Amino acid sequence: MAYTTNLDGLCKDRLVNEAMEFLSEMVDQGIPPDDVTYSTTLHGFCSLGQLNEATKLFKEMVGGNVVPDTVTFNILVDGLCKEGMCVFEMMTEKGAEKNVCTYNALIDGYCLRSQMKEAKNVFDIMVGKGCAPDVHSYSILINGYCKSRRMNEGKSLLAEMSETELTPDTVTYSTVMQGLCHVGRPQEALKLFTEMCFSSLLPD
């Protein structure tokens, strides 16, 4: 626990090389790293975009018979999918449960690459698996559609949220309003603005 706490501090200070030296020292002292230790260091690498190092460390983790949990996989999905890679299917192989954060990270990765068909497919898989999307799930997908200038799909998802008893937040409304303005539909944006205020959401 003491080593992991120090590793966490180094990674938060973006000192991942020092963190790896600390991890090696830990092993040399005969203290085996656990899944939390590895996840902390993996998060440090992914935060800096050092994905090759993250992948290498992950293989070392698995090779050392340390079983990655959902948190570990979520870190990798979030980091790797944004670069067009994905360890999503490996989760099934390893028996790790996918949660809403896992799906959100993968959807966001596809949206960042404007691969909206793939993003919506993951969203549908999530629903089909009985994992209920949250407001963030919808906001990510809506943002992807808006940036792709596919406003009808974005507005459709906004309406769908009400049907699932999820309340859109200020970020969700603002995303759609910005998208509508960019495609020359300011009157629709104004209508949404009024709707947002009527829902007791304060404009930021």
Tens digit of pLDDT for each residue in 6-28? Answer: 888 888 888 888 888 888 888 88
**Under 8 Å CB-to-CB from 11, ≥6 apart: which residues?**
19, 40, 41, 43, 44, 47
pLDDT of residue 83: 61
> Model pTM?
0.65
* Ramachandran bin of 149, using left for φ above 0, alpha for ψ from -120 to 50, beta for the remaining angles: left
Enumerate the H helices of 129-169 as residue ranges: 135-147, 151-163
pLDDT of residue 176: 95
What CATH number was assigned to the domain covering residues 1-94?
1.25.40.10
Tell me the C-alpha distance between 63 and 40, whole Å.
18
| Confidence band, pLDDT 50/70/90 cuts, at residue 138 | very high
Inter-residue contact 111 to 141 (CB < 8 Å): yes
pLDDT of residue 82: 62
Which of 124, 80, 72 lies closest to 103 in space, CA to CA?
124
Mean pLDDT of 49-69: 82
pLDDT of residue 114: 84
Helix axes 170-182, 135-147, angle to 10 degrees: 10
Mean pLDDT of 190-197: 94
Tell me the C-alpha distance between 143 and 148, whole Å.
9
Mean pLDDT of 164-181: 92
**Comparison of pLDDT for 67 and 184, the residue scoring more:** 184
Q: What rounded mean pLDDT belongs to the chain?
A: 86
Inter-residue contact 122 to 106 (CB < 8 Å): yes
Q: In b/e form, how buried is each residue of 51-89, taking b as 16+ CB within 10 angstroms?
A: bebbbebbeebeeeebebbebbbbbbbbbbbbeeebbbe
Q: Is the pLDDT of residue 44 over 90?
A: no
Mean pLDDT of 143-166: 91
- What is the DSSP code (8-state) at residue 185? -
- Dump pLDDT digits (tens) for 79-92: 776 664 556 667 77
pLDDT of residue 86: 59
Mean pLDDT of 37-65: 83
pLDDT of residue 87: 65
Which of 121, 130, 59 lies closest to 98 in space, CA to CA?
130
